[in-house]
Structures are given as structure tokens and as C-alpha cells.
Amino acid sequence: MNLEEIRDFCLKFKGVTEEMPFGPDTVVFKVMGKIFLLLPLDVEDVRISIKNTPEKNIELRGEYPNIVGAFHMNKTHWNNLIIDFSTKKDLIRQLISESYDLVVKGLTKKLHLELSQLNI
């Protein structure tokens, strides 16, 4: 997947916004104001920072050499996925979806209600 495909996929989720709070070099995707994906623009390779459970992150890092602890993030909860020719699109979509779902799961009741009332 390239940058535009990742962006388009993220924006299909309910309640997602795209921001650049850290400057022009990183696109941040949020659901109801909570970050679920970071997309750096200032690196040579395509990579994303995504959230998952601590257990799943350990498993992913052991299985895929292109998944490592996320730079500048809590490595217990965040991974960097370096996207290269060997990275299957289905895996990328799955990990992005899991990150989104995990963040949605952690939303307050009020934010869950607001999200449920949004029209896609």
C-alpha cells in the first residue's frame, strides 16, 4: 500500500479525522480525538505507527521482521510497520482495523454514544 491508499483506508472508518498536530511531516489519524495511526511523511520508506495489545505486539514483532516498537511512542502499545514489497495489503488493513477497534473500545461512554450517532 502507498501513502494515499493508507490515507483512504483510514478515512473510511466512522468518526475519523486527519490532522497534523506534530507539524507537516506526520499525518495523524484519530477517532473521536484519540490517535489510532501515525503516518510519517519525512521518511524514505512507507511506515505507519499503529496500536495493539501488548501481547499481540510481542507476537507481531516475533513473526514479522518489518514490525518493530514504534519510535517516540510507548513500545508496549505501539508498533511501527515498515511497508515493503513483502507486506501484504490484507495484513496492513487488518492491523489498521485492529488499531482503530482498540482505540474505539477504550472510548468513554459519552464518546461511544457520539460515535454511534455519526452518519458515515
Q: Are 39 and 3 in contact (CB under 8 A)?
A: yes
Q: How far apart are CA 24 and CA 40, in angstroms?
A: 9
Q: Quick one: average pLDDT of 7-24?
A: 96
Pick the CATH number of 3-111 from 3.30.420.10, 3.90.480.10, 3.40.50.12140, 3.90.1150.30: 3.90.1150.30
Q: How far apart are CA 74 and CA 35, in angstroms?
A: 13
Q: What percent of the chain has pLDDT over 70?
A: 99
Q: How far apart are CA 42 and CA 52, in angstroms?
A: 24
Number of other CB atoms surrounding residue 5 within 10 Å: 14
Position 93 scores a pLDDT of 97
pLDDT of 6 higher than 70: yes
pTM score, two decimals? 0.93
Q: What are 68-108's pLDDT values in tens digits?
A: 999 888 889 999 999 988 899 999 999 999 999 999 999 99
Q: How far apart are CA 38 and CA 60, in angstroms?
A: 18
Q: What are 18-77's pLDDT values in tens digits?
A: 999 999 999 999 999 999 999 999 888 899 999 999 999 999 999 999 999 998 888 899
Sheet with 34-40, strands from edge to edge, namely: 16-19, 26-31, 34-40, 46-51, 78-83, 67-69
How would residue 119 be classed by pLDDT, with cut points 50, 70 and 90? confident
Measured over all CA atoms, what is the biggest interatomic distance in the chain, rounded to whole angstroms?
41
Position 7 scores a pLDDT of 96
Position 120 scores a pLDDT of 62
Grid cell at residue 50: 499503529
